[in-house]
Amino acid sequence: MGHDWPGNVRELENVIQRAMVMATGGVILPEHLSIGPVSAAASVAVDGTLEEIIEKKLVECVRGLREHASANLYDLMIGLVEKPLLRAVLWETGGNQVRATQILGINRNTLRKKLVEHGIDPGGLEA
């Protein structure tokens, strides 16, 4: 209730989808919610490479989805990685979309489409 939900319904939907994937045994716990002071990101150990950390979390996700015939895991995971990547690059470039497209290796139209898709306001990400 204390979260501002800057992404509105889309952000809420993404948080719930992510929590469903991260929760093992069908129970969503506070650490499965990527908002507020306790987040899944905060509980990840920093003693590994980014690839190792991601792989560990993905193994947990896949294990939690064994009973689901169709979980659309690929699209869900791409969305969960893509949004923070876009936000991080825009933050680093001070919201400069041209520079962000150069770093990301995508064209400007693709970046704009992805920003709308993820409900990201590039003006609110200036360093």
pLDDT exceeds cutoff 70 at 2:
no
Closest by CA to 86, choosing from 111, 123, 117, is 111
Most trustworthy range by pLDDT among 10-19, 56-65, 82-91: 82-91
C-alpha 11/C-alpha 118 separation (Å) is 8
CA–CA separation, 23 and 77 (whole Å): 14
Full-prediction pTM beyond 0.85? no
Whole-number Å distance between alpha carbons of 125 and 123: 6
Q: Is the pLDDT of residue 118 over 50?
A: yes
Residue 53 and residue 77 in one domain: no
Work out how many domains the chain is built from and give that number.
2
Q: Which of 71, 75, 127 is nearest to 99 (CA)?
A: 127
Q: 71, 99, 114 — which closes off a domain? A: 71
Distance CA 45, CA 11 (A): 25
Q: Are residues 9 and 61 part of one domain?
A: yes
Whether 60 and 78 share a structural domain: no
Q: Which two three-digit tokens encode residue 22? A: 């991260």
User: N- to C-terminal Cα distance for the chain?
Assistant: 27
